Structure 1
């Protein structure tokens, strides 16, 4: 098959978010060896809860877009990889996006993408989920997610960790992308008091909110006439993977658009991840975060589309 992404830019796939998906890999091997209904059911039930790596390239408007693989019949497929070891060194992709598998499914079943399915580990396991199967998965999961998350089944600590993930990787960036300059202004003016109240507002169980205003830090920087950056440092309590030490919210008045960058905790305490949440509320990895003194300049470089050394 021909890889349609002909960009010459390189990316070190070792620097993407660390995912292994060991059990998923074993289920794929089992299904490839014996493609019966039982093995397919086991595979689908597992992969719907997994995150996968998706090759992408930059559009003309500098936003990430999925890469595609085309077969000899001209059919397009979305390639995904269950871990970095399955990603080929050549041809390289400008970006590797870490996404929930269900987010991939949602894109694949969208008519605008005009794909025939998803290609899983194209150069190793070479497994294809065709569009009818993806549509069925999408419909079933959509019906299941109409219910409420059983928060009463979580311990207090698990609930706080779950809440951090929801706030820092979904609710806060969503508010930025939906409210734009209004939100940036409110956050800049209200500082730590505003952030503390907003974080508590995001909590589904208000009585369990554990943080104090003093545990947040908010600093606004006007980089140019059009670009403002707000740095928000989060409490150290309940900071587990995945959670953020801090985030950088960027607003470009001229383009009327926002950017949301994350400095994230990893399994290795000596390494922090520089990530980004894009408007689709998908996660992009920009590799290992620089030291504290170089963070701001790195964010500015990303905003200005400069090459990061």
Structure 2
């Protein structure tokens, strides 16, 4: 029976999300909430589930054995609901199998995207008070307001912009200062790298021709037409260097205001004119009492902390060295 319960469970890690959860639980600040939202935006979760009572026994047994089931008879899995002492209901979710105290505790485990998890948490028929993340360890509650805020962020991500205007700001329950941090991170982790990888050479052309005016336009997107943006073209210092036939790098010094951990001090866009390949790097402010960090965001939108930031004045050299190593690795394959 124990083996029947231990259905194949996907193995993955969510270290960035788990770190953000712990930071938020330690200090429930607006900044840490924004960090958590950004960390969760492309995450997958493990959701305990059970078979509906009307599913035939033989179909359930097939599913547990991992055998293929005709789509017409495949069971529709239902998320398991847990209840606290106050009678409130929550949908449990795990960031990885390592967060589970007992691997065979649930009949089945669903591997879901953040979008699917948000749909579960906001399903009116389930009458939930929220989602409990890592109920065996962190016991992090995602309340309906947080779920709504995440849905707003995901909608903005799909559209290529952040939430527009006052209605979204009000719904997110953010102060002005916290919204500005949220908006800046949305630009540096989402809007700008998306434009970089989508436009390629066109991005470099706009940057060269319009300079700070172009960057200010990108940073203004989350504010919409009704909110004043704190940045102007004068807040950006841009230098474009043609290194060789395969390497053009844009160095962009970013606004000094609204700096906080994980906000970028500078950006480095590397373009290969030969194959139109782009790379996107940032120097982000480190966490309190920690060094700044050299980061990247790839074409799929995945952000990665690469290494401690190089000394001031050596940033371009460090970025170009990473690009060179990646090119050599690609040629060796």
Could you state the TM-score of these two structures normalised by the residue count of structure 1? 0.58
Instruction: Extract unaligned runs of 5+ from structure 2.
Output: 1-6, 21-37, 48-92, 123-147, 156-162, 329-333
Report which of the two structures shows the higher radius of gyration computed on alpha carbons: 2
Q: Could you tell me how far apart the structure 2 residues matched to 1:119 and 1:270 are?
A: 26
Q: Could you tell me how far apart the structure 2 residues matched to 1:287 and 1:130 are?
A: 41
Other-structure match for 1:170: 190
3-state SS, counterpart of residue 244 of structure 2? coil
Mapped contact 1:220–1:231 kept (Cα < 8 A): yes
Other-structure match for 1:139: 116
Work out whether 1:151 is the aligned partner of 2:151: no
Mapped contact 1:196–1:213 kept (Cα < 8 A): yes
Once the two structures are TM-superposed, the CA of residue 293 in structure 1 deviates from its matched residue by 2.1
Q: Report matched runs for 1:31-110 at 5 Å.
A: 77-81=11-15, 82=18, 100-101=39-40, 103-105=42-44
- 297, 313, 318: which one aligns with 1:293: 313
Other-structure match for 2:245: 225
Other-structure match for 1:38: none
Other-structure match for 1:243: 263
Q: Could you tell me how far apart the structure 2 residues matched to 1:130 and 1:247 are?
A: 47
Once the two structures are TM-superposed, the CA of residue 257 in structure 1 deviates from its matched residue by 1.7
Higher relative contact order (CA 8 A, sep 6+): 1
Work out whether 1:274 is the aligned partner of 2:294: yes
Change (3 A) 1:127 1:221: farther
Once the two structures are TM-superposed, the CA of residue 118 in structure 1 deviates from its matched residue by 8.2
Could you state the TM-score of these two structures normalised by the residue count of structure 2? 0.55
Other-structure match for 1:183: 203
Other-structure match for 2:323: 303
- 273, 292, 297: which one aligns with 1:253: 273
Q: Could you tell me how far apart the structure 1 residues matched to 2:318 and 2:114 are?
A: 40
- CA offsets, 1:191-245, max 9 Å, x none? 1222223322443355321123221111101111122111111111111122100
Change (3 A) 1:132 1:259: same
Q: Could you tell me how far apart the structure 2 residues matched to 1:226 and 1:163 are?
A: 33
Once the two structures are TM-superposed, the CA of residue 186 in structure 1 deviates from its matched residue by 0.6
Mapped contact 1:120–1:126 kept (Cα < 8 A): no
Once the two structures are TM-superposed, the CA of residue 288 in structure 1 deviates from its matched residue by 0.6
Q: Could you tell me how far apart the structure 1 residues matched to 2:111 and 2:265 are?
A: 36
Instruction: Extract unaligned runs of 5+ from structure 1.
Output: 1-72, 85-98, 109-116
3-state SS, counterpart of residue 293 of structure 1? coil
Q: Could you tell me how far apart the structure 1 residues matched to 2:297 and 2:285 are?
A: 15
Other-structure match for 2:216: 196
